[in-house]
Amino acid sequence: MPLLEIKNLHASIGDKEILKGLNLTIEAGEVHAIMGRNGCGKSTLASVITGHPAYRVTEGSILFKGQDILSLSPDARANSGIFLAFQYPVELPGVGMAQFLKAALNAKQVFLGKPPMDAVAFMKHMNLRATALGISPEMLKRPVNVGFSGGEKKRLETFQMAMLEPDFCILDEMDSGLDVDALKVVGQGVSVMRESHRGFMIITHHDDLLQYVKPDKVSIMLDGQIVKTGGADFVRQVEEQGYDSFR
Ligand SMILES: Nc1ncnc2c1ncn2[C@@H]1O[C@H](COP(=O)(O)OP(=O)(O)O)[C@@H](O)[C@H]1O
Ligand SMILES: [Mg+2]
């Protein structure tokens, strides 16, 4: 069974149709890049998968681990293992990172019918991940994302992803505006999390991050549809010949 299976997905915002019969399959263990130029509907796809209320699905289906998720709330989708790393991370003034992550992790435990993590186990889990991704204890004490640089926010978001251990990670243009060091951190985050039960959807319009994370598959998106799916060699074809070469 694929991890994610999207069939004939049509979605609109207001009365404007943005996804126009999109088909996409992502297997467990796969790093799948979605490449397409600005405005083709990539973020819309991420929003529809995670259940953003502004978008209306008019046709088609999304199965996650074989379960139809279109009727689930955004919370239930997140708790069942879907994580979206934002293009523009949100700030949470007054909320510390540890507090935020503990609440998120425990909400997931409750959803799964498991007991909450105790404080010692949580701290151990957090320190291990923080060290691996170069997050200082000082950064963890500050409110979530407030006053951090763009690169630091991406680093923290990568850390959140590693903490929550989702089964499916969507990275939406996480590489936009990142310097090489920050790109490496995001790449490192994906590498350490690359496991046979987990899948990644890496959304981007250029090859920046894909130089650090070699995708197993690349799907090309044009005007609300996936027009072609191939291997990592598609990344170079995009850079050298542009998106229209896939028409
Ligand atoms: N809230 C909105 N209202 C109207 N149009 C929107 C809205 N959000 C996105 N769009 C339009 O939907 C299209 C796809 O946007 P988006 O999914 O963000 O593309 P991408 O992420 O590929 O750049 C664009 O033409 C964009 O202008
Ligand atoms: Mg976008």
**Nearest alpha carbon, ligand 1 atom 18:** 43
**CATH number reported for the structural domain that contains residue 238 in this entry:** 3.40.50.300
Residue 132 domain-assigned (yes or no): no
Residue 129 domain-assigned (yes or no): no
Average pLDDT over residues 142-154: 85
Give me the DSSP letters along 35-80: E--TTSSHHHHHHHHHT-TT-EEEEEEEEETTEE-TTS-HHHHHHT
Nearest-atom number in ligand 1 for the CA of 47 is 17
Assess whether the C-beta atom of 71 lies below 6 angstroms from ligand 1: no
Domain range holding 74?
Answer: 4-94+168-246
Residue 206 domain-assigned (yes or no): yes
Query: For the chain, how many structural domains are there in total?
Result: 1
Assess whether the C-beta atom of 39 lies below 6 angstroms from ligand 1: yes
Give first-to-last CA distance, the chain, whole Å. Answer: 29
Residue 188 domain-assigned (yes or no): yes
What distance in angstroms lies between residue 35's CA and the mean position of ligand 2's atoms? 10
Residue 242 domain-assigned (yes or no): yes
Substitution candidate for ligand 1 out of 35, 43, 175, 227 with most atoms within 8 A of CB? 43
Residue 137 domain-assigned (yes or no): no
Residue 181 domain-assigned (yes or no): yes
What share of the chain has pLDDT > 90, as a percent?
67
For the stretch 87-107, pLDDT in tens is: 666 778 888 888 888 988 898
For the stretch 7-33, pLDDT in tens is: 999 999 999 999 999 999 999 999 999
Residue 213 domain-assigned (yes or no): yes
Query: What are the tokens at 136?
Result: 């200082």
For the stretch 150-202, pLDDT in tens is: 888 888 889 999 999 999 999 999 888 788 888 988 998 999 899 999 999 99
Over the range 94-129, which residues count as b (16 or more CB within 10 Å of their CB) and which as e? eeebbebbbebbeebeeeeeeeebeeeebeebbeeb
For the stretch 52-86, pLDDT in tens is: 999 999 999 999 999 999 999 998 999 899 999 87
pTM confidence score = 0.93
Residue 98's pLDDT is what?
Answer: 87
Nearest-atom number in ligand 1 for the CA of 40 is 22
Substitution candidate for ligand 1 out of 10, 15, 18 with most atoms within 8 A of CB? 18
